Amino acid sequence: MRSFLLALRTSRRCYSAAHKAIKLAQQQDLEQDILAWESLLAPEETAARDAVRAWVDARFAPRITEAHRRGAFPRDLIPELAELGVFGASLQGYGCAGMSSVAYGLVMQELERGDSALRSLCSVQGSLVMHAIHAFGSPEQRERWLPALAQGKLIGCFALTESSAGSDPAAMAATARRDGDAYMLEGEKAWITNAPIADLAVVFAKVADEDGRVRAFVVERGPGLEVHSVEGKLSLRASPTGNILLAAARGALLPGSGGLKSALQCLTQAREGIAWGVTGAAMDCFEAALDYGAHRQVFGRPLASRQLFQERLATMAQSIVTSQLMSLHFGRLKDQGRLTPVQVSLHKRHNVAAARRVASDARAMLGANGIIDTNKVMRHLMNLESVYTYEGTDDVHALAVGRALTGISAFS
C-alpha cells in the first residue's frame, strides 16, 4: 500500500516545497490514508503483509523484469516462497499457515504487487490444488500430498478448462473410467497455469460409469500425461502456462468431490485471492505514477503540481481504496462463514476492472516512459488483461450478479 493515499498538497507559489513534501512522504513509506486503513487490520494481518512485502521488494522485484522478458518464472525462488508460508496459507494443518482470510488476501495483494505471475503461482498452488485435496481428499491423500505442496517440494496445477469448455465447464469432454483402484483419464485441458512445472495435476473429468458425473482426480506427472507450453504470450509472461494431453493417464479419485460444484468451490477460493491481489498491482502502478510526477519537470514545475495529474491521482486512489474496503468487508464475511458466491463474483469483477483502469491511467501518465518494461506499469497492464478474463470473465461474473438481482438466469 505504501504511499498511494498521500495527500498531494501543492501551492501555486511554492512548487519546490510540494516536490520535497512528496519525496519525503515516499521516503517515509507512510499510509497517511483517508480511511485510516491500518486501524482496520489486526497485528497478525499486517505482520503477514509486511513480511511478504519485504520479500517481494528484496528478492522478487529485482528479477521480474528479466523473468518477464524471458517468459520464465524464477523457480529457484519457490523454496523461499514456501519458507514464507504462502502455499496454502489459509488452510489448517499439514504444515500450512492457517491465516485468516484477510491476512491471506493481504499476502495475495503483496505478491501481485510484484507481478500477477507470482500471485498466480501461489494462488493455483494453494486455493485450487491444495484446497481441492484438503476439501475432497481422503486422510491418506491429504497426508501424502499436502505437506509436500506446502513445502514447495511439489508444484501442482488445476486442470478444469478445455479449449471448448471455459465459461461453460459442463461442456468438458475429458473422461475417466475405473481401472481397479484407480481411474484412467482421457482428454485435453487448455490454458493451465503451472502445468509446465507441475509435479501433479488436479484434473476434472466425467466418469463414464457414473452417468457422466464430474469428479476430481490427482494425476501425477508420468506416463499418459503430456504437457505442451503455451508460447508467444504477451501477458502473464512469467507465469508458466500449458496445455495438457491425457492419454490413459492414471489418476487417484478425490472421494469427496462430486459434480461441478466441487470445481466451483475451489474457484471461489481462488477468486477471492485474485480480487485482493489485483489491488496490489494497482498500488504499484499508482506509486510509479506518483513518483514519476514528483520528478518529471514540465514547463519548470513538477508534473505532480498540475491539476489534471492530481485529478488522475485522486481518481486512482479512490478506485484503490474502494477495492480495499470491498476486500476487507468480504474477507471478514469469509472468516465468519457468511461469504456467498455472488459476492465473490461482485468482488472479482469490481476489483479487476478497477485495477485495469488504474494501470491504464498510470501508463498514460508516464507518457512514452510508460511503455518501457523497467517502468513496470505496462507489464502490470498486460497482466491484468489476462486476469480480467481468467477464473470467470468480467461478463460471466456480471451475469452471476445479474441473476442474483433479478432472479432470472441468463445462462440458459
* Calpha distance 152→150 (Å, rounded): 5
Query: Going by C-beta distance under 8 Å and a sequence separation of 6 or more, which residues neighbour residue 176?
Result: 183, 184, 185, 186, 205, 206, 207, 208, 215, 217, 251, 253
Stated as kind and residue range, the H or E segment containing 382 is helix 377-387
* Calpha distance 28→32 (Å, rounded): 10
Task: From residue 209, give the alpha-carbon distance in Å to each of 162, 176, 205, 261.
Answer: 22, 9, 12, 19
Q: Which residues pair with 89 in a beta bridge?
A: none
* Calpha distance 175→186 (Å, rounded): 5
Q: Which three cell numbers stand for residue 122?
A: 501461489
Helix axis angle, 101-114 relative to 260-295, nearest 10°?
50
Count Cα neighbours of 94 within 13 Å in the Cβ-side half-sphere: 27
Residues in the chain: 412
Kindly provide the b/e burial profile for residues 327-364, where b requires at least 16 CB atoms within 10 angstroms of the residue's own CB: bbebbeebeeeebeeebbbbbbbbbbbbbbbbbbbbbe
Count Cα neighbours of 340 within 13 Å in the Cβ-side half-sphere: 6
Q: Is 355 helix (H, G, I), strand (E, B) or coil?
A: helix
* Calpha distance 26→47 (Å, rounded): 21
Q: Which residues pair with 165 in a beta bridge?
A: 162
> What's the burial of 280, exposed, middle or buried (CB within 10 Å: 0-12/13-18/19+)?
buried
Active-site annotation holds for 391: yes
Catalytic annotation, residues:
391
